[in-house]
């Protein structure tokens, strides 16, 4: 009893890691822990991307969904951006916000899908797009947000874009903000936000 030392490597350390094929099959296992570990184990494996994208579309267990997205976001390729971009319209709030978070970490491939998202007919998708741009480390993020503030027809999209632009707001944006209030004079939150930002 007391402090004991263990030098022998645990069995897991000596066991050969599962193959990509095994892990891809385990993405559909009935046990969520097994699916979660499989998703993490597929980190960096490009051939697993389609299977991971198929999984994220049907996965309902938040723990597994987070693991799949952690692995997918690291790929930052057009295929992943397209696949996750579609989930910004999801009725599942957990999925659409988690997809937005993942997209915000993909500065290489996300810019290509932004023009399409900015003109999406669903204003809820455009609100989610502002959430992506808020954190996307890309030199054009500010310009896209400014475009949303200047042009979007829905006040909730405009206020989401103003919030996202706030950390990089400069005097050059002041006219843009004043014009937004002119376009939506009846929105109390938009007026308050712009007044606070201009103060």
Partner 1 sequence: MTDKRPKVLVVDDAATVRLYHRTLLDNAGFEVAEAANGLEAVEAALSTAFDLFVIDVNMPKMDGYACVETLRSETVGTPAPVLMISTEDRPGDADRAYAAGANLYLVKPVDAERLARVARMLTAGIAA
Partner 2 sequence: MTSAATAGAGLSEADFEKFREYFYKRTGIQFTAAKRYFVDKRIDACIRDSPYDTFTSWFAALRLNDRPELLQELINQLTVNETYFLREDYQFDSMLRTVLPDVLAMRGGPNRIVGPVKILSLPCSTGEEPYSIGLRLLEEWDLIDRVDVEIHGADIDSEVLLRARHASYGERSLQRVPAKWRAKYFTSVGTGRYQLDEGIRGAVTLHQVNVCDTLAMRAFREFDVIFCRNVLIYFDELSSRRAAENLYGAMRPGGYLFLGHSESMSRISPIFTPTRLPEGIVYQRPIGANR
Closest contact distance (angstroms) between CB of 162 and partner 1 is 7
Closest contact distance (angstroms) between CB of 59 and partner 2 is 13
Q: Is the Cβ–Cβ distance between 3 and 28 less than 8 Å?
A: no
Nearer to partner 1, 51 or 98 (CB): 98
Q: Which two tokens stand for residue 181?
A: 């209030």
Tell me which of 38, 73, 100, 146 binds partner 1, using CB under 8 A.
100
Residue 65: which H helix or E strand, with range? helix 62-73
Q: Give the residue among 138, 142, 145, 150 at the shortest CA–CA distance from 176.
A: 150
Q: If binding is defined by CB under 8 A, does position 16 make contact with partner 2?
A: no
Tell me which of 162, 176, 177, 180 binds partner 1, using CB under 8 A.
162
Per-residue x/- track, 50-79, partner 2 (CB under 8 A): -----------xxx--xx--x--xx-----
Q: Which of the choices partner 1, partner 2, none does residue 171 contact, using the CB cut-off of 5 to 8 A by kind?
A: partner 2
Closest contact distance (angstroms) between CB of 193 and partner 1 is 4
Tell me which of 28, 29, 82, 124 binds partner 1, using CB under 8 A.
124
Angle (deg, nearest 10), helices 49-58 and 32-41: 150
Per DSSP, 10 falls in state: P
Q: If binding is defined by CB under 8 A, does position 41 make contact with partner 2?
A: yes
Q: Which of the choices partner 1, partner 2, none does residue 196 contact, using the CB cut-off of 5 to 8 A by kind?
A: partner 1
Q: Which of the choices partner 2, partner 1, none does residue 105 contact, using the CB cut-off of 5 to 8 A by kind?
A: partner 2
Long-range Cβ contact pairs of 113-121 (< 8 A, separation 24 or more): 113/81, 113/82, 113/85, 114/140, 114/144, 116/85, 117/85, 117/88, 118/144, 118/147, 118/148, 118/152, 120/89
């Amino acid at each position: 009893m007391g402090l004991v030392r263990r030098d022998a490597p645990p069995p897991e350390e000596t066991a050969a890691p599962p193959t990509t094929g095994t892990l891809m099959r385990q993405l559909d296992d009935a046990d969520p822990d097994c699916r979660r570990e499989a998703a993490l184990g597929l980190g960096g494996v490009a051939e697993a991307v389609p299977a991971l994208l198929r999984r994220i579309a049907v996965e309902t267990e938040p723990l597994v969904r987070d693991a799949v997205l952690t692995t997918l976001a690291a790929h930052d390729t057009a295929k992943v951006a397209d696949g996750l971009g579609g989930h910004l319209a999801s009725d599942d709030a957990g999925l659409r916000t988690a997809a937005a978070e993942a997209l915000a970490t993909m500065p290489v491939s996300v810019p290509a899908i932004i023009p399409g998202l900015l003109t999406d007919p669903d204003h809820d998708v455009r609100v989610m797009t502002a959430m992506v741009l808020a954190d996307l480390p890309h030199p054009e993020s500010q310009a896209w947000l400014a475009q949303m503030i200047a042009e979007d027809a829905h006040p909730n999209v405009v206020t989401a874009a103003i919030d996202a632009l706030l950390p990089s707001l400069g005097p050059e944006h002041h006219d843009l903000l004043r014009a937004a209030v002119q376009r939506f004079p009846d929105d109390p939150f938009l007026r308050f936000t712009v007044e606070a930002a201009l103060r």
